[in-house]
Amino acid sequence: MLTMRMIGPNAYRIREDDQPIGRIRFASERVPGVWLWHVTVNVPGPQSTGSATTLDDAKAQFEAAWLAFKEQHGPEKLAKAYAGMNLRKSP
C-alpha cells in the first residue's frame, strides 16, 4: 500500500509499506507551476519521472509508474536496491 508523508511545503515522500520509494513536489519555479514526481529506487536503466497539473494526477501517475517499475525490475532487483538505500538503517 502506498502512503504519502509531507516533508515540506508542497513536498511529499512516497512509501510502500515502510520503504521510501519516491517523491512528489510542486515546482513553483516553473511557469505555470507543475507537480513533479519521481521514483527514488536506484536500479540501472532509465528513471521513472513525470509531471502533472494537479496533485491527484501526480499521485495517479506515480502509482501507475511504480507498478510498472516493480513489474519490470522484479523482487530481487528491488530487494538489492532497498538494501543499498537502507545502509544508514543498519546497526
- Look at residues 7, 45, 2, 36 and name the one whose alpha carbon lies nearest to residue 21: 2
d(CA 77, CA 55): 29
Q: What is the pLDDT of residue 86?
A: 80
15-29 pLDDT, tens digit each = 999 999 999 999 999
Q: What is the pLDDT of residue 90?
A: 45
36-73 pLDDT, tens digit each = 999 999 998 888 999 999 999 999 999 999 999 999 99
| Residues above pLDDT 90, as percent of the chain | 86
